[in-house]
Structures are given as structure tokens and as C-alpha cells.
Amino acid sequence: MNARRIQLVRVLAIAALIAFAAAIAWAQGSEEILVIDQPIDRDMYAAGRQVNVLSAIGGDLVAAGQSVTVEGIVHGDTIVAAQDIEIRSQGNDDLRAAGQHVKVNAPVAGHIVAAGQTVTINEGIGDWAWLAGHTVEVQGNVGGDLRIRANKIAVNAEVSGDLDLTGDELRVGPDTHVQGNLTWRSNSEADISAEARIDGEFIEKPAPGIAEELSSGRALSFTVSVIVAVTVLFLLFSRSLRASADRIRAHPGSSLGLGFAVMAAAPVLALILLFTPLDAWFGLSVLGIYIVLLLLGVLTGLFALSDLVLRRFRPQPSRWQALTAIVLAVVAVGLLSYVPYLGPMAVLVIWLLGIGALCWGGWVALRGYKQEPLQQS
């Protein structure tokens, strides 16, 4: 198996791991705000809008939510999927994290695999690290190889192995000491401080092509983020999502047409409201709803695709089967999007179907809503 295939397998494995972690955490119990302030001598699974781990965990920690903060020592692996992740206490084993913002402010004894819009490592890593995202910053020392794929990369730390960087803006600070080779790939010139110490070789390679981009940090970060988003949406609103999938199955043409009409008409309506004597807040409100609808539409479309395919083989799928189908659907659509012409068109159709099914469901809900009559005193 060549290096590209190995990287692609890693992408799929990490995506499955994050969805698996979120599902387990949700299955074990979910609260709006979950605070763990008593020591746990076993593995801990937790989920909620906000998860705060204040005490020591004797085994592994698996957590999912909108915000996850770890302030107690974790003696096993730490696996986290959330929008905002902050590690404030020592981890005695490995860390795997995926979210919008990932911040590590405490030492990790093992290795780190992390993906997010921003990934910040401020403390030491005992073993190797593989980081991906839009912006990645490393200031803590790394005990093995350090591989980073991101748009913006900043490294100012000691790396005991090789340092491999792929991105658009690369900066290697003056306190950097790489005991192995420094390899970088970028379309622009790397900013390598004259005071940085590189014991091995300087190796500049061409920027990655499309094949390599399939396993790049940005592709990985986006794929994992979408999987987490669809998974959380499914765990919170499984009934509504399945109703949308049923609408698409029963009326694909109507869903597609309604989705196209909403996508085309909503911006025009928002502009009209913004530049008419009516209050501009109406236009801003329509625009805000439209942006949210776009996001929810693509997530709904991806779930509908996974659900439609899954139900052809499993009419009554379990939660685990549904989560597995979500992972496979997101990865498959991600790969399909790289196919010229056909890929973007397929993604657009999925998007429009999701928007149409959402709007249809909202209309049905409004028509079925009956206001309770006021009781007269």
C-alpha cells in the first residue's frame, strides 16, 4: 500500500473514530450542562451541550458536545468531538480531537491526532503528532515526528523527529529545533527563521496535487467537521431528519424544485427588504435565516443520502448503522466532489434536496400547529 493510500485510510479511520466517539458518548447519557467533579476509576463517556471534566479519569475519556473542557488528569486516551475543545490538564496517554477550535494547554504523554479550524498546541507532546486544519500553531515540544497540513502553519518548538509541513503560509520560529529533517510543501516561500536549528536536511517538495489534496489537512478537517455536524444533528433531531429523508424519497422532484426556488429567491427577497422603506432588520433577519438554512440544508441532504441508501439494505436500521452510513456518505460525497463537472452538480443536487425537504417540513409543521385557546377567568 503506497503512502497516499495509507493517508486516505487514516482519513477514513479518524472520521469513523470521531463519529463512533460521539455516538458512544451520547448513548451513555446527555445533559445540557454536564460537570464531572468526582474522580472516576474507569472509562468515562459523556455528552452534553457543555461538558466540564474537573476530576481525574482512571481510564479513557470519550466526550462530545458543543463545548468540552478537560481540567482533570486523564490516565487513558482522550477522545473528544466538539465545537470548542480545551485540554487544561495532563493526559497520560494519547489525544484524539476534532472540532472547530482545539486548544491543548497541558502536556500529553502519548501522541496527538487533531483536526479543526484552529488547532493550538501550547504544551509538550510525548510522542508524534499529526495535526490538520485551517490554522495550526505549535509551541509545545514534540517527542517524535510532527506532520501538519493546514492553510496557515506556525511552529516554534523542539521536534525530536522529522518536521513535515504542507500549507500556504508556513512559519518556523527562532526557538525551533528539529532533530530530523525539515520538509515543506507550499506554493509560497516558507518563512524559516535564521535562528532555527535543523539537524537534518532541508527538503522542499512541490505543492500537493488533487490526489494528495484528498488526504490533505484541509480536506481532513472539513470532512471530520461535516461528519461531526451531521452526527450531532442526527443525535438531537433524528425524527425530523428521517421525516425529511422520507419526503425526499416520496417526492424527490418537488423537494428539488422547492430547494432551488428557496435558494434563488431568498437572497433577492433579503435585498429588496434591505433597500426598501421597510425596516432593514427584516432584510437582515431573512438573510440570517437563509444562511442557517443553507448550512442545515446540506447537512440534511447528506443525512438523507445516507438514510436512503441504508434503508435499501436495512429497513429498520439501528443507531450504530445509521452513524456508520453517515460517515460513509460524507466521505463518498467528499470524494465525488473532486470529479470535474459531475461532482459539483451532485453536491448541488444533494444540497437543494436538503433545503427543499427542510422547508417542506417547516411548512407542514406550521400548518399543523394549533394555538391553544386562552382560558377566560
- Tell me what pLDDT residue 177 has: 96
Reference 203, options 214, 216, 192, 218; nearest CA is 192
The whole-angstrom separation of Cα 210 and Cα 338 is 8
Q: Which of 163, 180, 213 is the last residue of a domain?
A: 213
- Segment 206-235 mean pLDDT: 65
Within-domain flag for 374: no
Q: What type of residue is 197? A: R
| Same-domain check for residues 173 and 37 | yes
* Residues 64 and 78: beta-carbon distance below 8 Å: no
pLDDT tens per residue, range 102-139: 999 999 999 998 888 899 999 999 999 999 888 999 99
pLDDT(315) > 90: no
The whole-angstrom separation of Cα 247 and Cα 303 is 13
- Tell me what pLDDT residue 362 has: 78
Reference 357, options 264, 237, 240, 248; nearest CA is 248
| Same-domain check for residues 40 and 181 | yes
Cβ partners under 8 Å of residue 264, min gap 6: none
| Same-domain check for residues 275 and 188 | no
| Same-domain check for residues 57 and 191 | yes
Within-domain flag for 229: no
Within-domain flag for 31: yes
Q: Which residue has the cell 517538495?
A: 205
Within-domain flag for 223: no
- Segment 38-47 mean pLDDT: 87
**Burial class (CB within 10 angstroms; exposed 0-12, middle 13-18, buried 19+) of 42:** exposed
- Print the domain residue range for 244: 237-366
Within-domain flag for 219: no
The whole-angstrom separation of Cα 88 and Cα 85 is 10
* Residues 25 and 18: beta-carbon distance below 8 Å: no
| Same-domain check for residues 261 and 117 | no
The whole-angstrom separation of Cα 195 and Cα 376 is 81
Cβ partners under 8 Å of residue 312, min gap 6: none
- Tell me what pLDDT residue 121 has: 97
Within-domain flag for 373: no
| Same-domain check for residues 121 and 164 | yes
| Same-domain check for residues 67 and 205 | yes
Within-domain flag for 193: yes
Number of domains in the chain: 2
| Same-domain check for residues 242 and 205 | no
pLDDT(90) > 60: yes
| Same-domain check for residues 255 and 121 | no
The whole-angstrom separation of Cα 370 and Cα 269 is 28
Q: Cell numbers at residue 138, please?
A: 505549535
Q: Which of 213, 248, 269 is the last residue of a domain?
A: 213
pTM of the full structure: 0.57
**Burial class (CB within 10 angstroms; exposed 0-12, middle 13-18, buried 19+) of 339:** exposed
What is the percent of the chain with per-residue pLDDT over 70, rounded to a whole number?
80
Angle between helices 280-313 and 342-368 (to 10 degrees): 110
| Same-domain check for residues 12 and 96 | yes
**Burial class (CB within 10 angstroms; exposed 0-12, middle 13-18, buried 19+) of 109:** middle
Within-domain flag for 372: no
The whole-angstrom separation of Cα 55 and Cα 60 is 13
pLDDT tens per residue, range 254-303: 889 888 888 888 888 777 776 666 556 666 777 777 787 888 888 888 88
* 197-198/177-178 β-pairing: parallel
Length of the chain: 377
The whole-angstrom separation of Cα 201 and Cα 220 is 28
| Same-domain check for residues 15 and 135 | yes
The whole-angstrom separation of Cα 236 and Cα 233 is 5
| Same-domain check for residues 120 and 10 | yes
Give the bridge partners for 125, in sequence order. Answer: 108, 142
